[in-house]
Amino acid sequence: MRYVLRRLLLVPVPLLLVVGFVFAVLRLTGDPVAIYLGLDATPEQEELLRAELHLDDPIPLQFAWFLADLLQGDFGTSIQFKTAAMQVVAERLEATLLLLGLGLSLAVGLGVLAGVACAVWKDRLPDFVISILAVAGQSMPSFWLGILLIQLFALDLGWLPTSGRGGWQHLVLPTVTLATFLVPNFILVTRISVLETMREQFVVTARARGAGAGRALWLHVLPNAINPVVSLVGLQLGRLMGGAVVTETIFAWPGVGRLMVSAIFQRDVPIVVASVFIVAVTIVLANLLVDLVQAAIDPRIRTR
């Protein structure tokens, strides 16, 4: 319990750092007004908007105002859309979480199974084939894979839709694209971890006491080998978010990733901060969950 509390107390620190950093970088690298108004804006219009947004205040002052609002849960109003920034982001959050959740589950599931297969048939054909596929999968850029999948399954075979959100069919290609990008890591980590655990004395003991190969693998080896995989989930979340940005763009998926990227280009600071904040919260909470799961699996972590 103390462990959980200690971890919870640390949660706001990375969030504050992330938000401060994003704000500073965005305000320092570009002026939003020219971009919001579009190509046909006249200089008079720009002056009007500039005054309206208080963009003439010094940056530290702008940040102070911004933090004060943030403490009251107000992320500001999107400069482009004139709607509460958090509301715009929240509307997109579910789509992204769905995609991330499915992609991650598929990646972990496939990765662990394939990794175990590699370890069991070490240096034999399955290990060889899976390892090659893993390297290929890791080297393949997401946008390229996504386009290949659209070409094959949507255009040539006509089994699945090319893009957008709708029924379960719309989920298949984005999920596969996202998972492919993560699976290789899980395969490699599972493989090594299982191989190492197999050599541990308690496994040898279990086998000596008459446990079959399958029983030893699933009941003795895997539970002890799974912790590195769990921590990898935590480590991969950031990358996963990056993959989601690309995947959402290719498949026209209405998620936070695409929103965030377009907001960055538009210098829509409230939207960027709100989405980065949400992403950071997701990653921090997921990492917290990962820590707790690990502590639950491995009592040694709890006593640290």
Partner 1 sequence: MRRLFWAAALAASVIAGPCLAQAKDDTLVVGAAVFTDSLSPAAGGYITLSLVYQTWEPLVARDADDKLVPALAERWETVSPTHWRFHLRRGVKWHDGTPFTAADVKFTIDYVTDPKTVYVRKGRIAGVVATEVVDENTVDIRTSSPAPLLLRGLADIAVEQKAVTERLGQKEAHRRPVGTGPWKYQEWVAGDRYDLVANPDYWGGAPAMKRLRIRTISEGATRVASLIAGETHIIEEVPVDLLPSVERRRNLKVDSIESSVSLVLTFDTRKPPFDDVRVRQAVDYAIDKKTLLQQMLGGYGSVLDGQLVTKATFGHNPKLQARPFDPAKAKALLAEAGHPRGFDTKITTLSGRYLSDVDIANAAAGMMTAAGVRATVNVVEGGVWSQLDRNKEQGPMYQIGWFSVGDADFNTVWYTEASKRNYWTNAEFDRLWQEGRSTLDEGKRLAAYHRMMEIMHEELPSIFLFGLPRISARAANVEGWQPSRDSLLRLHKVRVK
Q: How many CB atoms lie within 10 A of CB 43?
A: 7
Residues numbered 277 to 296 that lie near partner 1 (CB under 8 A) are none
Cβ–Cβ under 8 Å, residues 255 and 99: yes
Nearer to partner 1, 18 or 256 (CB): 256
Nearer to partner 1, 24 or 219 (CB): 24
User: What is the spatial distance between Cα 260 and Cα 35, in angstroms, rounded to a whole number?
Assistant: 16
Closest approach of partner 1 to the CB of residue 265, in Å: 5
Tell me which of 58, 60, 73, 158 binds partner 1, using CB under 8 A.
Answer: 158
Judged by CB under 8 A, the stretch of 41-49, 110-118, 195-203, 234-242 that binds partner 1 is 41-49
Cβ–Cβ under 8 Å, residues 270 and 77: yes
Nearer to partner 1, 160 or 293 (CB): 160
Q: How many CB atoms lie within 10 A of CB 198?
A: 19
Closest approach of partner 1 to the CB of residue 63, in Å: 17
The DSSP call for residue 27 is H
Nearer to partner 1, 36 or 121 (CB): 36
User: What is the spatial distance between Cα 224 and Cα 209, in angstroms, rounded to a whole number?
Assistant: 18
- Binding status of residue 139 toward partner 1 by CB under 8 A: no
HSE-up of residue 290 (Cα within 13 Å, Cβ side): 18
- Binding status of residue 45 toward partner 1 by CB under 8 A: yes
Structure tokens at 137: 């999968």
User: What is the spatial distance between Cα 253 and Cα 48, in angstroms, rounded to a whole number?
Assistant: 35
With H, G, I as helix, E, B as strand and everything else as coil, classify residue 226.
coil
x/- letters, 194..233, toward partner 1 (CB under 8 A):
----------------------------------------
- Binding status of residue 241 toward partner 1 by CB under 8 A: no
Tell me which of 15, 49, 211, 230 binds partner 1, using CB under 8 A.
Answer: 49
Q: Which residue has the tokens 């804006």?
A: 41
For partner 1 (CB under 8 A), the number of binding residues is 62
Task: For Cα atoms 297, 97, 110, give the angle at the middle one, nearest 5 degrees.
Answer: 55
Tell me which of 3, 11, 36, 98 binds partner 1, using CB under 8 A.
Answer: 36
Amino acid identity at 10: L
Q: Tell me the β-bridge partners of 77.
A: 84
- Binding status of residue 93 toward partner 1 by CB under 8 A: no
Q: Where along the sequence are the contacts to partner 1 (CB under 8 A)?
A: 26, 29-45, 48-49, 52, 78, 80-83, 88, 91-92, 95, 143-144, 147-148, 150-151, 154-166, 169, 249-252, 254-255, 258-259, 262, 265-267
